[in-house]
Chain A
Amino acid sequence: MTIAEPMIQVTADTPRLEEMQVIYQRPEAITETYTHYCPGCTHGIIHRLVGEVIDELGVRERTIGVSPVGCAVFAYQYFNTDGCEAAHGRAPAMATGIKRAMPDKVVFTYQGDGDLASIGGNEILHACARGENLTVVFVNNAVYGMTGGQMAPTTLPGMVTTSSPYGRDAKLQGNPIHITEMLAMMPGVAYAVRRSMHSVAEIRKTKKAIKLAFEAQLKGLGLGIVEVLSSCPTNWRLAPSESLNFIRDEMIPVYPLGDFKIHDELKKRR
């Protein structure tokens, strides 16, 4: 795939290349390609944040990413690191195998809510119980995106999806699962927070959190998980901007943002 050259009108006033200062560029840890994500989806930005963090920590050349099954199934194509693709929900187990066999590698999983909170509930639970030195980026958009917007364990009460056409009824379909709060209870978890992608300010906070989750791993403190509330305009049937409002107005009341666990060693760092 080739990327089109930017259309820049060069005039007499245009500074020469060597006079220009780079203030923003693609992180080295992100590959130069298009993603398959839908317009308005925040997966791309979350990828970028992970890429920036990997660059800033200088660990790209020893990082191995583990992709999930779900919308981020191709994440290994977008990170300019070694990567592999796990079976549905098994990324924490696969990452455990990698980290245990080569503890000097920096290993992260990037998982959606169906992958991590539903089919992979046991794998993430026990990776946390063991305190594996892993970083987990947990993207929660309250639906199964890849398969077309079915109800997830994280779907909001009353939310209409393609498999809860009358709205999620807690009596029939259960309640939303607050996985990050649950995992934060475990001694093996060094860092567990929830962030959101609905505004620039929140995106910046998300990046800081992802960095701390990687630092927890580098310091050998245990598992770091960042749950990121993310938009799904396609399956929510909302415009991109409306999707961001949906996160703010509908998701955050159910999934409050916050720090559920921060290891003392990381508090110093903050």
Chain B
Amino acid sequence: MTKQLWEGNEALAEAALRAGAEAYFGYPITPQTELLEYMSHRMPELGLAFLQAESELASINMVYGAATLGVRALTSSSSPGISLMQEGMSYIAASEVPAVIIDVMRGGPGLGNIQPSQGDYFQMVKTVGHGDYHAIVLAPSTIQEAIDLMYDSFELAFKYRTLVTILADGSLGQMMEPVEMPPFKEWPEERPNWALTGAAGREPRTISSLYLGAERLEILNLRLQEKLAEIEANEVRYETMMTDDAEFLVVAFGTVGRIAQSAVRQARANGIKAGLFRPITLWPFAKRELDAVIGKVRGVLVVEMNAGQMLEDVRAIAKGRVPVQFTGRMGGTIPLPDDILPALDTLIASVRSRNGNKPEPALARELNLMEK
């Protein structure tokens, strides 16, 4: 198939339709608005349900409503809008209906700005609404990967009757890349056996998140935990680069994971045995896989477009075996190799001094070359 030039937001929208989306409810917010705009002409063209809601509160609850029918429904937003959706996401999770949510993250907190950020890691990975549950969180690093993850999202959502979120950022949403768009996916016409389709010739079905009685609610929670364990066992995705002989590991996701590839290549060119671990599913997190890689390296550098959120997960996995340091940019600023390489030097220096070596020169990179 020939490659076409697509903008990230529009590519996500078209990929959602190719994946089988039937209903979209959204609200304008930069930097994801093109997604809504694209759906507003493309969905009527395909005879599908599009509606611009009055708020993100409404759009997530419209998704919830459509999802109870076994309809493949989605919404998209950016960080402040996602904050508003957390109520609905919790109800969706508790009701065990499938839904897909795209978050094109922007700078925060508060109104913040419209530049790219990864400041929603906590809210999407850790606390996506009240109660004990997780959404599956897919973090693409390129537009092609965003398309591919979007293409799988409804299958994941329906397989586990769960929330699936695509965690992108403003740079992925706004940039253009040559990509391949997959064909339209075939779905069975029949709705799942839990869907509200009208009680014709069968007992009525109800979908609710209300479980009065502590024992009943605990049973629901235990079932949700079982399901999460199953997802953790089956759905972990990640990518490694040059980790086989790596001494120093960079861990980064999404856009930063892509930038970190350049930084790791430059470090290698400078004689540093660097490698990259890029989680693709942020939940479930590649705990075992990262644990194994960390077991072979001397130090870890986490790079994020925030103040260090995934950092907490990486530190928990490293369990103090090796130093885990952090560098990041905030406020809509993107960390570049020029930020990452000095941080890598600092890490190497501190590892060496920790190991009783004599104090490092300011640039460990130079020392590394001297040693050769």
Contacts and interface: CB of A to CB of B under 8 A. Distances in A.
Interface of A: 31, 60-64, 66-67, 73-74, 76-77, 79-87, 90, 93-98, 100-102, 105, 122-123, 125-126, 129-130
Interface string B55-69: 101110111111111
Contact of A98 (B65, B95, B210): B65
Contact of B198 (A31, A63, A85, A87): A63
Contacts of A79: 204
B312 interface: no
A61 B208 contact: no
Contacts of A76: 206, 208
Contacts of A62: 198, 200
B25 interface: yes
Interface in B200-245: 200-201, 204-210
A93 B58 contact: yes
B54 A123 contact: yes
B23 A94 contact: no
Contact of A123 (B61, B64, B66, B95): B61
Given A102-B69, A122-B54, A122-B58, A61 B198 contact: yes
Contacts of B95: 84-85
A74 B65 CA distance: 17
A101 B57 contact: no
Q: Across chains A and B, which 10 residue pairs bring their CB atoms closest together, nearest first?
A: A97-B65, A97-B62, A85-B208, A94-B65, A61-B200, A93-B61, A126-B54, A101-B66, A62-B198, A90-B61
Contacts of B51: 96, 100, 130
Contacts of B65: 66, 84, 86, 93-98, 101
Contacts of A87: 61, 64, 87-88, 91
Contact of A101 (B49, B55, B205): B49
A174 to B, nearest CB: 22
Contact of A100 (B23, B61, B91, B201): B23
Interface core residue of A67, A93, A126, A130 (most chain B CB under 10 Å) = A93
Given A80-B199, A101-B66, A85 B61 contact: no
Given A81-B199, A86-B61, A98 B69 contact: yes
A90 B206 contact: no
Contacts of B69: 64, 98, 101-102, 105
Interface residues of B, number: 39
Contacts of B67: 97
Given A60-B199, A82-B198, A73 B210 contact: yes
13 contacts: A60-B199, A62-B200, A79-B204, A82-B198, A83-B196, A87-B61, A98-B68, A98-B69, A123-B54, A123-B57, A123-B58, A126-B54, A126-B58
Nearest to B22: A101
A73 B212 CA distance: 11
Given A87-B91, A122-B54, A97 B196 contact: no
A74 B58 CA distance: 22
A84 B61 contact: no
Contact of B63 (A60, A64, A97, A129): A97
B53 A102 contact: no
Nearest to B63: A97
B199 A61 contact: yes
Nearest to A91: B61
Given A87-B91, A94-B61, A101-B73, A82 B66 contact: no
Contact of B66 (A31, A61, A100): A100
A146 B87 CA distance: 20
Given A77-B206, A90-B61, A122-B57, A97 B25 contact: yes
B197 interface: yes
B12 interface: no
